[in-house]
Chains A and B, each alone.
Chain A
Amino acid sequence: MVDGRLTLIDDGRAVDVPARFRADGVRLRPADVTAALGWELKPEGLCHGGICVPVRNPAELVDADGVDLAALARLMARPLALDVEERTAYLAASAAERCAQLATLQAPEFTLPDLSGRLHSLSDYRGRKILLIAYASW
């Protein structure tokens, strides 16, 4: 078991949090979970923005070393890619979230740079038809 820092990338945004690295995974302090991800452990369960997910197996989620990141991700229903050795984890958006957004047929907003580095947002072009083409040099 080693104390250190985890680079946690939350849907593209990287944060650095204190973490405990064990053979069976990574543990974070509840306060750091809240600070980094906005989820709070309460008696009602794991809560975020007024919604609480019941924690059926509290012992699996939290022990003296803190919150297990993999168990947390499962409760948040978000996919987690974890590299314990490299002390880095990536939490992607859930399929449910992506599907719900796409099902509204509202084109998801984005901001990306052009070759000169100038940023363009989809909303900049509201009022015009957009043919969005994804391609690559590969």
Chain B
Amino acid sequence: MALDQCADDPRPFIEAAAPEHPSLIDTEHRLADLYGIINVPTAIWIDEAGTIVRPNDVAFGSEVFRELTGFDSVAYLDAVREWVREGTLPFDRRGVRERQMLPSADEQLARAEFGLAWHLHKSGKPDAALRHFERGGELSPDDFTIRRGSMPIRGIDPMASPEFLELYQEWTARGRPYYRPRA
């Protein structure tokens, strides 16, 4: 599920991968709001009854980012396969609840600011939109879906611009808060 401003942004990746699973586009960041998603990639396990059985996790599909993030994709993918094949779950309900990071009032207000900013941008008001993207970023500094997600919308390179590098350095200085633990 791509948190992108239009289908054309993730399209080359989706077409190159040619997946058998559905690839959805979430231009309004609806899923980010519903599931408390603050960065990408985020992986969530939902069982046959529609129950969240593994909450939001950083999860990469390959070892590409192992050195940068320390994340062991092999172990995660093994766990996914075991779940699919054997139904093995890493946590019970209590374990899932303990590991959920639920949104704060400021984080939801940040989402309101993002929603307003995005609407204003679509209405041809980029200057007004910018004010609200920035306000959202101030309210929820760990939320990359707002701070980094708004960069392509604002015409800024989210990979190598000075703005992104500053965001990344500041985030690193705060210990790279993503999902648990977060202070």
Contact between A133 and B28 (Cβ–Cβ < 8 Å)?
A: no
A127 to B50 alpha-carbon distance, docked (Å): 8
For B33, the chain A residues whose CB sits under 8 A away are: 92-93, 98
0/1 interface trace, chain B 141-152, chain A, CB 8 Å (1 if under) = 000010011011
For A133, the chain B residues whose CB sits under 8 A away are: 1, 41-43, 59
A interface residues, tally (CB under 8 Å)? 49
Categorize the interface residue count of chain B.
Answer: 35 or more
For A99, the chain B residues whose CB sits under 8 A away are: 102-103
In the complex, A2 has a CB within 8 A of chain B: no
Question: Among the interface residues B13, B31, B112, which one has the most CB atoms of the partner chain A within 10 A?
Answer: B112
A79 to B41 alpha-carbon distance, docked (Å): 26
Contact between B31 and A134 (Cβ–Cβ < 8 Å)?
A: yes
Question: Among the interface residues A85, A107, A113, which one has the most CB atoms of the partner chain B within 10 A?
Answer: A107
A132 to B37 alpha-carbon distance, docked (Å): 11
In the complex, A23 has a CB within 8 A of chain B: no
0/1 interface trace, chain B 22-54, chain A, CB 8 Å (1 if under) = 111110101111111100111111111111110
**Which of A36-44, A54-62, A114-122 lies at the binding interface?**
A114-122
0/1 interface trace, chain A 76-105, chain B, CB 8 Å (1 if under) = 000111110110111111110011011101
